[in-house]
Amino acid sequence: MASASSTTRERLSRETLAAGALALADREGLEAVTIRRLATDKSVTPMALYWHFKDKDAVLDGIAEQIFDSVVLPEPSTGDWDEQLREVLDAVLAAIRPHPLAADLLAPRVMKSVAGLVLAERVIGMLRRAGFSPQQASQTASFLLCSIVTLVTSEPGKQTNLTAEDQENLDRGKRAQLASLDPKLFPSLLESAEFFLYCDDEDTYFARGMDFLVDGTRGVRPS
Amino acid sequence: MASASSTTRERLSRETLAAGALALADREGLEAVTIRRLATDKSVTPMALYWHFKDKDAVLDGIAEQIFDSVVLPEPSTGDWDEQLREVLDAVLAAIRPHPLAADLLAPRVMKSVAGLVLAERVIGMLRRAGFSPQQASQTASFLLCSIVTLVTSEPGKQTNLTAEDQENLDRGKRAQLASLDPKLFPSLLESAEFFLYCDDEDTYFARGMDFLVDGTRGVRPS
DNA sequence: ACCTGAACACCGTTCAAGT
DNA sequence: ACCTGAACACCGTTCAAGT
């Protein structure tokens, strides 16, 4: 009977659809996230999604929301303001790192999920207590989130979702293009050529990024 | 006769098409930049564009190239490395600021135009002389460019291209959403609410952003 | 060299209708 | 409440053909 069929489709829900969308983005990139693709993946008609989401942008909101939900904010510590900032930024980075292909959705959507709001409140509050004005605090907080996204999305070698051989071909092409440059005109570029293609130590890459952000924040801190 | 007609179409060229594409992006955003739209704007068939550009991505490359071309790099000065860095970053910012709706194209395309390569060489060279390793120099340079783009694209109130009234409606909605938050839970967010919607002084906003970037770079500088 | 015409395989979305 | 069918207005792109 129908109930025994292994292909019976379970009911759709906002949550399972959003989870499917995030998984798809992680595997194939944001361009692959389309209403029609999502529908066929769930063996359903495209229009079925419109019951659960207002439009495609709401689906993307759902992806972002899941990532914000995965941020585990540390307990407020007793350290200096810059140590506390570092701990929170580390938590955000940890949540975003698994999703380099979806991270671009986050910055414009902080205010559209409660987890995003909680995160923003946390960072802005910390900056306020560190002496920032409301305006500076909100601007700095938003810049910090954007920067973490930038670190994740522009890590050398991580911006793509190709097969190993396609990746190799693309790398070979870039290497050739760089190698064809005049060494008199582009000495530093040629010297660093390899490091545009891959990142040999991700952890120190991100650690340095975090150092940069905390130092930068210290630099613009009033008085 | 036809030669006297004011509507005679002049010959297409890669340059005029790319200029039209940039102007369109500036006016209506990147989503408006489509092969078909560009074609009808130039009173031509969509397929005509494929003579001048390999595909749509090449059109976007053309937009990015124009912005990179508009960067006027300062003469190498005799100041400290951080002063020189600041001067170059200011030049990049000045070139990107007029194009908030197209700026997202830049970061992945630095290596695809000569102006981009020249810019990258300049920054990486400066960082090398300041003591950065080739790897750190290239990573920092790429992060700096991304950050300038971030400053421009995420300036409060500038992420959109709506009519004045649509903008007001949207702002009213956001204000209402923020105002509905629990003041016990989101005190700092409510305090800064206005500053998510507009930026009262763009110049100091950008100046502080540049301070942040130079201080951050100082912070991660070796030894 | 430069452009057109017709066609294909995709999109998001609306609206009425089914259960 | 939840999903389908048919239709519309868009995309990018290929391929053969015109001048």
What's the CATH code, domain B70-157+202-219?
1.10.357.10
Rounded-to-integer distance, Cα B193 and Cα B180, Å:
12
Q: What is the predicted pLDDT for the residue at A9? A: 74
Burial of residue B183, with CB atoms counted within 10 A of its CB: 0-12 exposed, 13-18 middle, 19 or more buried: exposed
Which of A146, A189, A205 to mutate to probe the B interface, most B CBs <10 Å?
A189
The pLDDT-based confidence of A2 (bands split at 50, 70, 90) is very low
Using one digit for the tens of pLDDT, what is the confidence trace for A4-62? 334 567 789 999 999 999 999 999 999 999 999 999 999 999 999 999 999 999 999 99
Q: What is the predicted pLDDT for the residue at B10? A: 79
Using one digit for the tens of pLDDT, what is the confidence trace for A150-168? 999 999 988 888 888 888 9
Q: Does domain B10-68 have CATH number 1.20.1250.20?
A: no
Rounded-to-integer distance, Cα B144 and Cα B218, Å:
12
Query: How far in angstroms lies nucleotide D18's C1' from the CA of residue A166?
Result: 38
Q: What is the predicted pLDDT for the residue at B8? A: 66
DSSP letter at A94 equals: H
What are the residue boundaries of the structural domains of chain A, listed by start? 10-68, 70-157+202-219, 170-196
Across the range B36-48, mean pLDDT stands at 97
Q: Which of chain A's residues have a Cβ under 8 Å away from the Cβ of B208?
A: 136, 139, 220
Do the Cβ atoms of A103 and A153 come closer than 8 Å? Answer: yes
Q: Which amino acid is at A24?
A: L
Half-sphere exposure of B62 (CA within 13 A, CB side): 23
DSSP letter at A103 equals: G
Of the two residues B87 and A77, the one the predictor is more confident about is B87
Flag whether pLDDT at A137 surpasses 60.
yes
Q: What is the predicted pLDDT for the residue at B7? A: 56
Tell me the backbone φ, ψ of residue B130, rounded to 5 degrees: -85, 0
Q: What is the predicted pLDDT for the residue at A8? A: 65
User: Could you tell me which chain A residue has the CA closest to the CA of B129?
Assistant: A188
When computed from its CA atoms, the radius of gyration of chain B, rounded to whole angstroms, is 21
Q: What is the predicted pLDDT for the residue at B99? A: 98
Q: Which amino acid is at A108?
A: P
Taking the CA of residue B39 and the nearest CA in chain A, the distance in Å comes to: 24
Footprint of strand C on the protein (CB under 7 A): A 34-37, 46-47, 50, 55-57; B 11-12, 44-45, 47-48, 50-52
The pLDDT-based confidence of B9 (bands split at 50, 70, 90) is confident
Nearest CA to B20 out of B100, B102, B110, B119 is that of B102
Do the Cβ atoms of B85 and B126 come closer than 8 Å? Answer: yes
